[in-house]
Amino acid sequence: MAYYKNIGTKNKPNWIVEGSFGTGKDGTRLRIKKTGFRTQKEAEAYFNEYANNVNKGNLKVEAKNIVFGDFITQWFNEHKSKTLSINTRTNYKSRIDTHIIPYLGRYKLTEIDTPMIQNFYNSLIGEGLKASSVKKIIETLNNCFKYAIKMRFIPILPTDIEKMPVEKPKIEYWNKNQVDFFLEKIQSSSLYTIILIEILTGLRVAELCGLRWRDINLDNGTLEVNGQIIFDRINKVLVPTDILKTDTSYRKISIPNILIEHLKSIKEEDKPQESNFIIQDRYGLVCNPRNVSMRFTKAISKYRKSIEEIEKETEKVPTNYMQLPQITFHGLRHTHATLLISNGENIKVVSERLGHSDIATTLNTYTHVMDESREKTASLLDQMFKKP
């Protein structure tokens, strides 16, 4: 038997269902009370599905006493955290402690419904968080509730909500002339090796810092990505790890002769151990990926002004100067991919080279190059079928 009532208004309905079904192990009647339904039909459907699941043994009745804050903390500590890298684990914990528990932690697990999650989402957006950041928070919740379903604590996912579209970030990259100019300017600097490897491999910065001499076969011209350097924000230390972003991050790629010859010259001069990291700080220690990025940013800041701006300030015409787009270090990874695609490399090969989880990621990321390729295709067809 169930009781239904609209406790909202005609324009903003809020139906409640309250009812009982069966008896528990102690002989007491099992009851449920839930609000947030737009129609009586939705409330009836929820009650019938919930009662049916309990009667079939698909739900654990004791779940009604579980506080969500305790549940998500236990899920994270005992289950989810064991599958995550240090950085991802830290990000998960931050989302849970900073956003999820303060808003939802006091409710019972079975009390949390879709309208409640929708309100949570709306409040995060209202606080000014980026849609991409809020998306990550909801994904964390979604993973937790999937576990709750697996453990037969709840019948359905409450995270099927209306979300704002996530704005696609603009891809920053350099063209070949800009790459050549910068490499020439830093040729005598220790930064040269870092930038040359990055431009010619497209590694993630943490992968670059985790690259060891044993990962490179200079005879065969191959490079293997087997590890990375991450900063453990909890313990404040740099950690070499063989846990990468995805399974496809573990990869073997070919490297060009220009890089092979450069690395051979370094190896011949320094005679490093095979276990040594190729990229090191000035003390010969493992390099912090963040410091690599900051060093690059500082180096290119010398070329942020246009020639006109410099002439106006100094009344001198600079020689051998080029204004460079102020891209991030990750922009060099985009540069690597963009140069390959624009010069006709197969998109699947580029995807595997970058260590993307699937080719769709590569296609969605580099649509700017694909658009240019489509335009070239039309011109190519014009030339092929041009009337004599």
pLDDT in tens, 222-241: 999 999 999 887 788 999 99
Q: What's the Rg (C-alpha) of the chain?
A: 28
Query: pLDDT of 320-339, one tens digit each?
Result: 899 999 999 999 999 999 99
pTM of full prediction above 0.75: no
**Low-confidence residues in the chain, pLDDT < 70:** 1, 20-31, 53-64, 317, 375, 388
User: How far apart, in Å, are the Cα atoms of 112 and each of 77, 168, 178, 268?
Assistant: 21, 31, 53, 63
pLDDT score, position 295: 97
Cβ proximity of 19 and 1 under 8 Å: yes
The Cα 356–Cα 354 span in angstroms is 6
The Cα 104–Cα 67 span in angstroms is 9
Cβ proximity of 279 and 208 under 8 Å: yes
Contacts of 171 (CB under 8 A, 6+ apart): 331, 334, 338, 365, 366, 368
**Could you give the residue ranges of the DSSP H alpha helices within 156-305?**
176-185, 191-201, 205-209, 257-270, 289-300
Report residue 53 as tokens.
């699941």
Report residue 47 as tokens.
């009650």
Phi-psi region of 202 (alpha: psi -120 to 50; beta: other; left: phi over 0): left
What sign does the dihedral 48-52-55-61 (CA atoms) show?
negative
The Cα 274–Cα 368 span in angstroms is 40
The Cα 181–Cα 176 span in angstroms is 9
Q: Domains, the chain, ranges and CATH?
A: 1-47 (no CATH), 59-167 (1.10.150.130), 176-381 (1.10.443.10)
Q: First vs last Cα of the chain: how many Å apart?
A: 84
Contacts of 369 (CB under 8 A, 6+ apart): 337, 338, 341, 342
Dihedral over alpha carbons 37, 42, 45, 46 (to 10 degrees): -20
The Cα 146–Cα 152 span in angstroms is 10
Q: Which of 144, 277, 282 is nearest to 208 (CA)?
A: 277
pLDDT score, position 7: 84
